[in-house]
Amino acid sequence: MDDKGEAARRHRPGAWDSEDDTGGAMASRSVPQPPFSTDLLADLHADNVAPELSGRLWPQVREDPESLRFLRSLDDVTAELQALGRDSHVLHPIPPDVSARLDRLLDDLAQGDHPADLPTGDQVATVHHLPYGPAPEGSGDSAPSTRPMAAVPEEDEDNADPAEPIRLAARRSRPLRWLTLAAAAVAVIAGTVVAVDAVRGRDTIPNAFPTKQTGAPHPGGDPTDAVLLSALGRNDVSGPLGAPGALAGCVTAAAGIDRTVLGSMDFTYQGRPAVVILLTALRPPKITALVVGPGCGPGDAQRLEMRDIG
């Protein structure tokens, strides 16, 4: 090449003098250019980009107004999440004993363990198969009726063995349904009072739920949802209702419809002895809390209160 050709090559824009220069220019071309995608900016904001590429991107991002606006919005979201994590109106610890019982219940349901196979001392609610009554007239696709079901003949209850628990793994769909109910109960316990207080904007910080609730008296009014839900996964009933099959007869008499027992315990309701029984609601994932007298049974419902929670 003559001197004129060499001089033209050296002054031509974009020309390289060596293979190394060519590689450097090609590497610079591989760096993304504005406008940057939101995914790339989010990774850059989260420090999820290789250090070499991050060092080349930041100078360009700082000169791009759109990119800076997007990064500031990510900063705002991060600050809001951190503030929520410190807000006592949002975060409330679940009482340790309730959390432990729910964890055991979820583990047992996931493994399909039979209540009789559990280690000694672990008490879970026995699932009783309640008798089915005739379907109400005109039920069809309409909303479920709350009318009492027809009485079940006594001979049917005598022939059945209500004390025999139903294995939760008997049907493939049943464990999943139970897991949904238990998870819903966790959400109800954690958020029932907290959400109401946050919406109403109270200035006082709400207290966590009491850690010991079994048999707690409530002389001044009705018990809270949290206290009733503490019976979930338990079978702590003494007296007549502690006998095999007694809960099934009581639920039929007091609720008037086929329900599955989720838990039960002795209870003090407005200064007098009572029993709280947790049942599946007509509209899951809600849970029905039934409060009855200790002598509840067929022909004597002794129903004190019944409410849906969730």
The helix-helix angle for 96-111 and 173-200 (nearest 10°) equals 160
Is residue 235 predicted with pLDDT exceeding 60?
yes
Contacts of 148 (CB under 8 A, 6+ apart): 256, 257
On average, the pLDDT of the chain sits at 70
Query: Is residue 215 very low, low, confident or very high in pLDDT (cuts 50, 70, 90)?
Result: very low
Q: Which residue has the higher pLDDT, 273 or 198?
A: 273
* Cα–Cα dist 57/8, whole Å: 34
Is residue 265 predicted with pLDDT exceeding 90?
yes
Is residue 13 predicted with pLDDT exceeding 70?
no
Which pLDDT tens digit goes with each residue over 140-172?
A: 544 555 555 555 455 444 554 544 554 444 444
pLDDT at 188 (0 to 100): 54
Q: Which residue has the higher pLDDT, 20 or 52?
A: 52
Which pLDDT tens digit goes with each residue over 83-107?
A: 877 777 766 677 888 888 988 888 8
Most confident of 142-156, 184-198, 240-254: 240-254
Listed range (9-13, 216-220, 263-267) with the worst mean pLDDT: 9-13
Look up residue 305 and give its DSSP letter: E
Which among 159, 102, 141, 156 has a CA at the least distance from the CA of 278? 102
